[in-house]
Structure 1
Amino acid sequence: MKKFGKILKYLILGIITVLVLGFAIAYFSMKSKSNKNMELLGVEAPTLSQGGISFRDLNKNGKLDTYENPNAQIEDRVDDLVRQMNLEEKAGSMYITMIGTTTDGEPMETPAISTDPITFMMSFILPSNSEMIVRQKLNSFNILASLDADKMAKYNNNIQKMAERTRLGIPITIATDPRHGTQNNPGAALYTPAFSQWPSSLGLAATRDTLLVREFGDIARQEYTAVGIRLALHPMADLATEPRWGRSNGTFGEDAQLSAMMTKAYVLGFQGDSLDQNSVACMTKHFSGGGPQKDGEDPHFPYGKEQAYPGDNFDYHVIPFIDGAFEANTAQIMPYYGIPVGQTSEDVAFGFNKDIIQGLLRDSLNFQGVVCTDWNIISDTQMGEGRAWGVEHLSYKERIKKVIDAGCDQFGGENNPELIVDLVNEGLIDESRLDISIKRIMRDKFRLGLFDNPYVNEQNATRIAGQNAFREKGEIAQAKSMVLLKNDALLPLKNGTKVYVEGMLIPEVFDGPGTLVKNPEDADVIIKRIRTPFDERSDYFLEKFFHQGRLYYSDEEKKEILDLISQKPSIVVANLERPAILTEIAGTSAALFAEFGTSDEVLVDVLFGKIKPSGKLPFELPSSQEAVENQKEDVPYDSKDPLYPFGYGLGY
């Protein structure tokens, strides 16, 4: 036994030694590359004055170029810049991808030891900041880290300073997925405690309050700009007509007109009436509607690559873009991964589909802004195979050409600009075609004021982001989004009611308005918060972040819920990421709520009548899994005998 213990000790020491040595080798290798990258940078851009005009001399030539002139017309500035850009700079500008930051707001240049799994993983997976900015000439990135506001602002300033030292000083556009929810799902949204917390898009739709949604957009805009984020990779104008779809939570529900109203208000809140130096540009997604996924499976994965239209309802899914996003002049558009089966001249995914991008979006709908692909549709990565659905047989270079030929401008989640350079040098793509896309991309940077001043005040960031007034508005929205589905004369609860609660993060907040008890038998009322059911999957890395598959509770899950709520008059609060099947739970409970991201504190205020519920369902709630399976993927509210119809909601 002692011998075994000795062997085990040496084995563990050996493994630790190998890991430490491996980390050290990776660290010093990346550090050496980083130093070499930094040596390629020039000096910082001085601020000069010429003819009474103060300007940043971004190309460091000592004179006022048109693209540096804050008083020049934007189109003239764009044309002057593009004339000065070389092929490599143009190619790099056609990419936007993930970028790493340290927990202290520094550019991620070396592997990081961090308790945050995202930070640790990204430090090994992603190229260094300097590799992408200096060598690959990229100048658009989406950030994943959720830091304190001053650290996020510091990071913006650090990489803007790095970009300023490049040949032309083209500023960085920092983008992000949604950050204002109450839950964390790195596959679609990023929980950021430094910002105010609001309900999901489904919850915003449940309020039916476009003024509130526009106010949300304006508050989010202020918090984003305070830390340097200038491009929102949202909203989702997709329609959740297929209830099993794992991305339903990011939509405004299944009704096209409701989604259009919400999308318009959302974009206007972020961008304002026109895009300017105070705006956050919106990349509305996913054209031409990513909701009707065959059997509800998501096209992040090969088994979900097909979009189905058994109801011949393709046009319905375009309405939120036409009447919503385009009415608000959304700056940018993102197509989704799926193949719109049988809808175009070839069954290829939206980003490769010329009929969709050039034919419908550009020619028919006259959209002239930036079109950026969804992430990783070209190359295989550690996250999985390239989602080149319908064109899997093409090489990476051929895929890039097809995307550009389709009418797209920018590649999301990729960093292989050398392939675009090769395509031009081989005569397969004309450089003048690149110029069309580059002008669109740079035009937004100019409109956002990034060429004139991309820096933010790090101290002001903390004062602006997450301020009390913003958080209070978010709590008002959380309360307004709650939908009362059933009330057998139980609500609102009387002060002092003895309550037993389960499923809460902060159960003690119930002690005060009510009396919190430790056992169900001592309670007057049982309050149970439940989540939307889903299938646990693990074939692909991202699957853990996608709650998809079944909408019914398993026998074990259902028994646990019903055994509790059958003991006393009970209130069930269902957090709905998708339309869960609540039939038996509704039958057993005395009161039932749907919520879409509501804190325990706000929930207490609603249950005890301090705030009255007013939300309406943004989708129908089906009565059975059979009804779900028999409905059509592209048609709204069409399941047989729904438990609660679209738009349902009680009050008291």
Structure 2
Amino acid sequence: MIHSPSAVPDHRTRAHEVVASLSTQEKAGLLFHPILTIGADHDPDAPSPFGPSSRELIVDRGIRHFCLASIPSPVETAAVLARLQEIATSHGSRLPIVFSSDPRHSFLSNMGATHRANGVSQWPEPIGLGALDDPELVETFARIVRDDYRAMGIRMALHPQVDLATDARWARQAQSFGSDPALTSRLLSAFLAGLQGPELGSTSVAATVKHFPGGGPQKDGEDPHFPYGREQVYPGGRFEEHLLPFRTAIAAGVAAIMPYYGMPVGLTRNGHRVEEVGFAFNRALITDLLRNELGFAGVVLSDFGLITDAHVFGKPFPARAWGVEHLDSAGRMARLFAAGVDQLGGESDTSQLLRLLDDDLVSEDRIDDAATRIVDVMLRLNGDDSGSSVPDVALMPAREHVALGLHAQSRAITVLKCPGNALPLTSPRRVHVRGLDPDSLPTGWEAADLENADVAIARLSAPFEPRDQYFLEAGMEQGSLEFPTEVVEQLRAVAAQVPLIVSVTLSRPAILTPLDEFATVIVGDYGASDTALLDALTGRVAPEGRLPFELPRSMAAIAASRPDVPGDTVAPLYPAGWSANYSSLEGEGASR
């Protein structure tokens, strides 16, 4: 049973005592963090899509951390997690489970990155919070996330993501705050204040800041979930700039940090060439830099799937063991612990770690060291909660939270092009709509065919290249940022008949150059319902967003830019920080 850490002056001392009381097998189980998918009728004895049953993982392997993938409603989730906790606290170490989650309050859905809101309030993607640059709002949002997670039984967030969006092609920008390291650090501080509080405790959700040391500078903008995206490059020499948010996280007492998949290529630091292996396998970056130089004392949780090559739902999914592909799974595991990783994301083979221990390829001291950091976080989360209460899951989502999220969606919208008095749309109109639900039009407005319309409104998503060779690849927005020619020409024909308003969901930058030629108004949203978009277009809510990254003029300009340098394309169509609502930008004029 876990005792309150408030009874002793040093949480880490109590963690040492707990670890010392565990068997080697129980300690080994703490060093794994597999994925768990549950339904309302979850059977703990049934095999999962990823292999063993949840009971086997909890009881036989001693695992006490699970990342939740698909889940049912909040009420059903809370009931299932409570049943799994009963199994955990009555077997083996008796330690409770720490359930974790990727973001769950936004619009995008990708099993490997984020989940569309279901039973919780819906907010713009984090990149939209970057467009607003409102730390108070971010802290409020983080408190809502904290309370929703705690109500369901989730105590660890596998976010926030603080990679700088410095290459326009990269697939993961929607979950970041933008390309500016100072803005990212400012919003990160606010998010941690809301999620963890002034210190990690019984009312906190433990944050995992990712992806160390910054995942934005991908060669050709490709994503390192896949073999073609394994290289991360720094032609502009900006490695230290990408580190800034992690320095902020450490100073704020973040519970965990997750290294990225990529491998640094051509990186020299302190006069030494950094080995070209994936960040989690890289002792120079995990132990020497993160631990010793930056002083991080929390948990290093690896990104998921670094050891075991797999086929998932019929698709290949090679382990992201970049630079050490030649090692077998045992060699990869040993290399991760030697580099300084404490916990293995997406893995569950505890027997392999025990074999490494028997063969003296991983030491007992190393296991104890990692387990102590992990138990330290568990003790803090499960400390004295006599003065706190868990939010009522039956009341989710709270009406005021839904309203706040909707308002934030509208506020974050960035007006990119708006001549004269084109906005707001102040009187009832006959509207030709494309990609917009006609039922969302304001009272008194009318959906009309093109010939009878006063104005046209078209909603578009940022372009990407569909790919589906590997598991998760179909859900990643990668490749070209150019709209298909047929889409451009269809909208050009619309604009030839009526004024055209185009809204583009900027989950990543988009090449708007051809649309800029004929659209009367262009706005960018970062995850917004049709109602939220129309609230902004009609002036019901003032759109306040500024571009959190630049919108390049062409793919050729992107190809000629340096992936680690923010705002590095020549003559961008719209620079970072731009909004047509404001007469000037800091440090430059508003003209393009």
Q: Do both share a fold (TM > 0.5)?
A: yes
1:475 corresponds in structure 2 to 406
Counterparts of 2:66 and 2:542, CA distance in 1: 42
Shift of 1:305: 0.3
Aligned with residue 432 of structure 1, among 334, 344, 365? 365
* Structure 1 residue 80, shift from structure 2 partner: 2.1
**188, 212, 224: which one aligns with 2:149:** 224
Q: Which residue of 2 aligns with 1:273?
A: 198
How many pairs align?
Answer: 569
Which residue is equivalent to 1:39?
Answer: none
Q: Equivalent residues in 2 for 1:52-201 (5 A)?
A: 58=1, 67-68=2-3, 72-73=7-8, 74-104=11-41, 106-110=42-46, 123-201=48-126
Equivalent position amino acid for 1:110 in 2: A
Indicate whether 1:647 and 2:571 are aligned: no
Partner amino acid, structure 2, of 1:327 = A
* Letter paired with 1:499: V
Cα shift at 1:184:
2.1
Amino acid of the residue matched to residue 618 of structure 1? P
Q: Pick from 287, 302, 308 the counterpart of residue 233 of structure 2.
A: 308
The answer as to 2:466 corresponding to 1:536 is yes
Which of 546, 556, 563 in structure 2 is aligned with 1:633?
563
| d(CA) in 1 for partners of 2:392, 2:242 | 41
CA deviation string 1:460-502 (max 9, x = no partner) = 2121x31011111111211121000111221111221211111
Task: Compare 363-372 and 606-615 and name the one that shifted more.
Answer: 606-615
**Other structure's SS at 2:7 match:** coil
> 1:553-593 CA distances to partner (integer Å, 9 max, x unpaired)?
12123223323333210110000111100011122111110
Match of 1:377 in 2: 306
Residues 436-475 of structure 1, C-alpha deviations (whole Å, 9 max, x = no match): 110110111110116989x997x92121x31011111111
Change in Cα spacing, 1:311 to 1:476, as seen in structure 2 (3 Å) is: same
3-state SS of the aligned residue for 1:375?
coil
Separation of aligned partners in 2, 1:556 and 1:622: 21
Closer, same or farther in 2 for the Cα pair 1:452/1:222, shift >3 Å?
closer
Counterpart of 1:102, as a letter, is: G
Q: Which residue pairs with 1:248 in the alignment?
A: 173
Query: d(CA) in 2 for partners of 1:510 and 1:542?
Result: 35
Q: How far off is 1:345 after superposition?
A: 3.2
Could you list the per-position Cα deviations for residues 68-90 of structure 1 after superposition, in whole angstroms to 9, with x for gaps in the alignment? 35653233431221111111111
Q: 1:612 aligns with which of 528, 542, 560?
A: 542
The residue matched to 2:502 in structure 1 has which SS?
strand
Residues 141-175 of structure 1: per-residue CA shift (max 9 Å, x gap): 01112322111111120110010111221110000
In the other structure, the counterpart of 1:61 is none
- Deviation, structure 1 residue 517: 2.2
Letter in 2 for 1:497: R
CA contact (8 A) 2:31 2:343 kept: yes
SS of the equivalent of 2:352 reads: helix
The answer to whether the 8 A contact 2:30-2:62 is kept is yes
Change (3 A) 1:502 1:526: same
Matched letter for residue 538 of structure 2: F
Q: Does 1:557 align with 2:487?
A: yes
Preserved contact between residue 263 and residue 320 of structure 1 (Cα < 8 Å)? yes
CA distance in 1: counterparts of 2:71 and 2:159, whole angstroms:
17
**% identical aligned pairs:** 39
Report the 3-state secondary structure (helix = DSSP H, G, I; strand = E; otherwise coil) of the residue aligned with 2:517. helix
Structure 1 residue matching 2:34: 3-state secondary structure = strand
Match of 1:406 among 336, 339, 355: 339
Q: What amino acid sits opposite 2:258 in the alignment?
A: M
Pick the aligned partner of 2:276 from 316, 327, 347. 347
Alpha-carbon distance between aligned partners in 2 of 1:125 and 1:219, rounded to the nearest angstrom: 31
* Match in the other structure for 1:329: 253
Larger gyration radius, structure 1 or structure 2:
1
Q: What is the SS of the residue equivalent to 1:68?
A: coil
How far apart, CA to CA, are the structure 2 residues paired with 1:520 and 1:252?
38
Equivalent position of 2:351 in the other structure: 418
Paired AA for residue 89 in structure 1? E
Q: Is the 8 A contact 1:107 1:159 kept in 2?
A: no
User: Hey, what's the Cα distance between the residues in 1 that align with 2:498 and 2:257?
Assistant: 51
**Higher-RCO chain (CA-CA 8 Å, sequence separation at least 6):** 2
507, 510, 526: which is aligned to 1:596?
A: 526
Cα–Cα, structure 1 residues 599 and 295, in superposed 2: closer, same or farther, change >3 Å? same
With 228-237 and 549-558 compared, the bigger mean Cα shift is at 549-558
* 2:210 equivalent to 1:210: no
Shift of the 396–356 alpha-carbon distance from structure 1 to 2, 3 Å rule, reads same
Asked if 2 retains the 8 angstrom alpha-carbon contact of 1:177 and 1:189, the reply is: yes
SS in 2 for 1:272: coil
**Residue 211 of structure 1 aligns to a residue in which SS?**
helix
Q: Kindly provide the CA deviation profile for residues 350-389 of structure 1, in whole angstroms up to 9, marking residues without a partner as x.
A: 0000010001100100000000110000111224111100
SS at match of 1:484: strand
For residues 258 and 299 of structure 1, do their structure 2 counterparts lie closer, same or farther at Cα, with a shift above 3 Å needed?
A: same
Q: CA RMSD in A?
A: 1.8
Residue 312 (structure 2) pairs with residue 388 (structure 1): no
1:242, distance to aligned residue in structure 2 (A): 0.6
TM-score (normalised: structure 1): 0.85
Query: How far apart are the structure 2 equivalents of 1:124 and 1:237?
Result: 30
Deviations 1:505-556 (A, max 9, x none): x3212041x5222311111010000011110112112110101000011212
Task: Report which of the two has the higher share of helix.
Answer: 1
SS at the partner of 1:447?
helix
- Verify the 8 A CA contact 1:305 1:337 in the aligned structure 2: yes
Q: Which residue of 1 aligns with 2:457?
A: 527
* Distance (whole Å) between structure 2 residues aligned to residue 564 and residue 557 of structure 1: 11
2:292 & 2:496 partners in 1: Cα distance? Answer: 59
Question: Deviation per CA, 1:304-328, whole angstroms, max 9, x where unpaired?
Answer: 0000111111111111211x32232
C-alpha distance in 2, partners of 1:417/1:565? 61
For the residues of structure 2 that align with 1:169 and 1:452, how far apart are their CA atoms? 19
Does structure 1 conserve the Cα–Cα contact (< 8 Å) formed by 2:37 and 2:71? Answer: no
Structure 2 letter corresponding to 1:254 = S
* 2:108 alignment partner AA: Q
Quick one: distance in 1 between partners of 2:442 and 2:362? 67
What amino acid maps onto 1:95 in structure 2? F
2:35–2:67 CA contact under 8 A, matched in 1: yes
Aligned residue type for 2:49: F
**Is 1:267–1:330's contact at 8 Å kept on the other side of the alignment?**
yes
Aligned residue for 1:62? Answer: none
Amino acid at match of 1:427: D
CA distance in 1, matches of 2:220, 2:45: 43
Secondary structure of 1:491's aligned partner:
coil
Pairwise CA distance, 1:182: 2.2
Contact 1:612 1:651 in 2 (8 A): no
Deviations 1:598-636 (A, max 9, x none): 111111111111111111000010011111111111111
Shift of 1:109: 3.2
- Contact map agreement 1:205 1:259 (CA 8 A) in 2: yes
Match of 1:484 in 2: 415
Mapped to 2, the partners of 1:495 and 1:187 lie a distance apart of 44
Please give the TM-score of this superposition, normalised by the length of structure 2. 0.93
Query: What is the distance in 2 between the residues matched to 1:445 and 1:632?
Result: 41
Superposed displacement of residue 227, structure 1: 0.7
d(CA) in 2 for partners of 1:561, 1:127: 51
Q: What letter matches 1:528 in structure 2?
A: A
Q: 1:443 aligns with which of 367, 371, 376?
A: 376
Counterpart of 2:559 in 1: which secondary structure? helix
Is the counterpart of residue 576 in structure 1 residue 510 in structure 2? no
Distance 1:501 1:75 in 2: 59
Alignment partner of 2:369: what SS? Answer: helix
For the residues of structure 2 that align with 1:126 and 1:178, how far apart are their CA atoms? 24
